[in-house]
Amino acid sequence: MSPTQTKGATTGDRDSMVITRDFDFPRATLFEFLTDPKKAAKWFGTPEGVITVLFELDARPGGKLRIHDQEPGGPIHETSGTVLEVVEPERMSFKSSTALTADAPPFEALQTVTLEEVTPLKTRVTVVVQVLSAQSVPGGVPALLEGFQGGWGQTFDKLQRLLQ
């Protein structure tokens, strides 16, 4: 496994980030861990030290994504989303919306996860995050992208442990 590589970019009026990591597992295995709700619930979308209270994923175009997570002793953060595209075994994209507090408007992002076969036993996972709205986030888009970078890095760590 190589370390997570991250680069930020601005495309038009949308801020975005690209995060990649190589895994020493076949692409079909990683696609299954991305799209199977029972397997995805064990790693997807929840960083280290955060408890997944609810996880629902209908991995087909138009399907829903719901994640409720909680830091110990903290409030529950609710993420909801819609799956936009699923191309087996290479890609899934979804739009997500998360409110940091009950009275704040949610931030929104478009996320695309691409699985590229490097060799039959090695897969490069690339996540492109495009921030669509971040008005409720202290520090704005830069702080949000930093959070996505750390969050995806930690969820990749969880995935690596599950695969082993």
pLDDT digits (tens, 9 = 90+) for 103-144: 777 889 999 999 999 999 999 999 999 998 877 777 878 888
Q: Write down the pTM of the prediction.
A: 0.88
pLDDT tens-place string over residues 59-100 = 999 999 999 988 888 888 889 999 999 999 999 999 999 877
Domain ranges of the chain: 5-163
Specify the higher pLDDT residue, 48 or 102. Answer: 48
Give the integer Cα–Cα distance in Å for 48 and 44: 11
The pLDDT of residue 11 is above 70: no
- Of 105, 111, 123, give the one whose Cα is nearest residue 33: 123
Q: What is the pLDDT at residue 12? A: 43
Q: What is the pLDDT at residue 4? A: 52
Output the CATH code of domain 5-163: 3.30.530.20
